[in-house]
């Protein structure tokens, strides 16, 4: 059994890790932290997990307890893993960070977008960007994983087949995306209140969202050159889900893009290219570690429209984190991750 610690167990991604790991045949959660809920039983805070974790209690983060485990997941706000990862790694425990702390290769760029100094630039060389569909080999031997952000997961998976093969113009790609409210975390914020978010749709971060440099970094690696991207996220009144719509100009209209996408992802357990003409729905991935993608070229024109959906808390965060753990520990990549989506 892999001994697991979760730092930040009361947040949405933390409890999603608990839910997924409860179904995992080769992992056991030994430590779960919360500073505000110290001493509270998981079973009392999350009754849906009563049978899975009857004894597990939230404790404050203590390095010796974390390093007694094989792997530590950070489901914490940005900057927390910077402060703790080094000591944990030095003790031989692996780290899977769901925050953005190690996603950008350039510490200076990170501090510009995140508004604080980078707390562990010396660890960046060890960090592997945990998008298995791109980095599977590097993940196998990694000690420190930077789990991609939710929007970056959907947008990159939607665009990779085009940019890797140089099939689209790469200077003016448009990403129009929508997220459910759980993407903003569990902390109280005006914008997450029911009366603000229900029956409403609003764009935000139009002048620059912190996921822009992460997406551009991934697309640059895939394309072998810098990519021009306009990224506009929206908040929509659902709890879970991301819907990404990408617009790009194809270089060759005669290409069968449906086949290109099907071939690129034919061996990927968690990417599903839908049949031609079918549009993906967020509810088809709710609770599942899956990205469903569709590609169309309306009216046989130059513009390709790619649509991708994920559950922000699963393939966009905790599910992808478990997928990384499976790869790092030499397990079947799908261990504990095969559940179907929840409908409705
Ligand atoms: N929500 C989403 O859809 C996604 C989130 N992410 C990222 O995952 C991370 C967690 O997100 P989410 O679950 O939404 O966040 P939440 O705000 O819901 O939860 C944050 C958790 O971190 C703990 N925490 C806060 N500050 C500290 C600290 N200084 N030291 C230790 N623990 C701390 C909190 O517990 P306590 O204060 O009691 O210790 C809480 O359990 C974030 O970096 C987020 O950006 C990534 C992809 C998607
Ligand atoms: C709806 C909403 O607020 N979404 C968050 C992104 C989700 C997320 O947590 O992404 P990270 O993993 O990069 O932190 C946002 O726009 O900042």
pLDDT tens, position by position, 125-167: 999 999 999 999 999 999 999 999 999 999 999 999 999 999 9
Instruction: Read off the CATH number of the domain in which 168 is found.
Output: 3.30.360.10
Instruction: Read off the CATH number of the domain in which 68 is found.
Output: 3.40.50.720
Whether 174 and 267 map to the same domain: the answer is yes
Kindly give the distance from the C-alpha atom of residue 71 to the centroid of ligand 2, in angstroms, as a whole number: 24
Whether 98 and 195 map to the same domain: the answer is no
Whether 81 and 186 map to the same domain: the answer is no
The residues lining ligand 1, judged by C-beta closer than 6 Å to any ligand atom, are 7-14, 34-37, 61, 75-78, 80, 98-99, 149-150, 182-183, 185-187, 312-313, 316-317
Whether 164 and 119 map to the same domain: the answer is no
Ligand 2 touching residue 236 (CB < 6 A):
no
Say if 260 falls within a structural domain: yes
Say if 77 falls within a structural domain: yes
Residues 50-61: pLDDT tens digits?
999 999 999 999
pLDDT > 90? residue 343: no
Whether 117 and 158 map to the same domain: the answer is no
Residues 245-269: pLDDT tens digits?
999 999 999 999 999 999 999 999 9
Kindly give the distance from the C-alpha atom of residue 78 to the centroid of ligand 2, in angstroms, as a whole number: 11
- Residue to substitute in 31, 76, 83, 211 for testing ligand 1 pocket (most ligand atoms within 8 angstroms of CB): 76
Whether 211 and 267 map to the same domain: the answer is yes
Ligand 2 touching residue 148 (CB < 6 A):
no
Say if 46 falls within a structural domain: yes
Whether 192 and 304 map to the same domain: the answer is yes
The mean of the pLDDT values for the chain is: 97
Whether 111 and 163 map to the same domain: the answer is no
Say if 268 falls within a structural domain: yes
> Going by DSSP bridges, is the β-strand pair 2-7/27-33 parallel, antiparallel, or unpaired?
parallel
- Is 0.95 surpassed by the pTM of this model? yes
Residues 204-241: pLDDT tens digits?
999 999 999 999 999 999 999 999 999 999 999 999 99
Whether 162 and 299 map to the same domain: the answer is yes
Active site residue 150: yes
- Residue to substitute in 6, 13, 37 for testing ligand 1 pocket (most ligand atoms within 8 angstroms of CB): 13
Whether 54 and 103 map to the same domain: the answer is yes
Query: In this structure, which ligand is nearest to the CA of 214?
Result: 2
Whether 94 and 181 map to the same domain: the answer is no
Whether 119 and 161 map to the same domain: the answer is no
Ligand 2 touching residue 184 (CB < 6 A):
yes
Residue located nearest, by CA, to atom 21 of ligand 1? 8
Ligand 2 touching residue 233 (CB < 6 A):
yes
Residues 305-326: pLDDT tens digits?
999 999 999 999 999 999 999 9
For CA atoms 119, 151, 317, 32, give the dihedral sign. Answer: positive
Query: In this structure, which ligand is nearest to the CA of 151?
Result: 2
Q: Report the pLDDT value the prediction gives residue 344, as an integer from 0 to 100.
A: 78
- For the CA of 76, the closest atom of ligand 1 is 22
Say if 48 falls within a structural domain: yes
The fraction of the chain above a pLDDT of 70, given in percent, is: 100
What domain count does the chain have?
Answer: 2
The parent domain of residue 161 ranges over 151-311
Mean pLDDT of 88-98: 98
Say if 290 falls within a structural domain: yes
Domain stop point among 81, 97, 129: 129
Say if 332 falls within a structural domain: no
Q: Report the pLDDT value the prediction gives residue 157, as an integer from 0 to 100.
A: 98
If pLDDT is split at 50, 70 and 90, which confidence band does 338 have?
very high
Say if 143 falls within a structural domain: no
């Amino acid at each position: 059994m892999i001994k697991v610690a979760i730092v930040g167990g009361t947040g949405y991604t933390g409890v999603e890790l608990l839910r997924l790991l409860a179904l995992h045949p080769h992992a056991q959660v030994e430590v779960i932290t919360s500073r505000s809920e110290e001493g509270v039983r998981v079973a009392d805070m999350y009754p849906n997990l009563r049978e899975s974790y009857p004894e597990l209690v939230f404790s404050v983060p203590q390095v010796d307890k974390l390093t007694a485990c094989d792997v530590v997941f950070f489901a914490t706000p940005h900057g927390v893993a910077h402060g703790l990862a080094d000591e944990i790694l030095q003790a031989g425990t692996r780290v899977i960070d769901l925050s953005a702390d190690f996603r950008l290769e350039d510490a200076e760029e990170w501090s510009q977008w995140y508004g604080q100094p980078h707390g562990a630039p010396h660890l960046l060389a060890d960090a592997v960007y945990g998008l298995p569909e791109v980095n599977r080999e590097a993940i196998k031997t990694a000690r420190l994983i930077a789990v991609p952000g939710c929007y970056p997961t959907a947008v990159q998976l939607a665009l990779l087949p085009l940019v890797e093969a140089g099939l689209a113009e790469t200077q003016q790609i448009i990403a129009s995306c929508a997220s459910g409210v759980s993407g903003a975390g569990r902390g109280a914020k005006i914008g997450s209140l029911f009366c603000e978010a229900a029956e409403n749709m609003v764009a935000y971060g139009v002048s620059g969202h912190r996921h822009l440099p992460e997406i551009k970094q991934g697309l640059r690696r895939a394309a072998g050159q810098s990519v021009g991207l306009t990224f506009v996220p929206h908040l929509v009144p659902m709890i879970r889900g991301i819907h990404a719509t990408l617009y790009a100009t194809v270089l060759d209209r005669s290409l069968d893009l449906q086949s290109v996408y099907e071939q690129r992802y034919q061996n990927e357990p968690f990417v599903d290219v839908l049949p031609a003409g079918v549009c993906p729905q967020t509810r088809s991935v709710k609770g599942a570690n899956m990205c469903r993608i569709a590609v169309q070229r309306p009216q046989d024109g130059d513009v390709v429209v790619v649509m991708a959906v994920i559950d922000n808390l699963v393939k966009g965060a905790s599910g992808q984190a478990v997928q990384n753990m499976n790869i790092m520990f030499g397990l079947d990549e799908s261990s504990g991750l095969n559940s179907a989506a929840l409908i409705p």
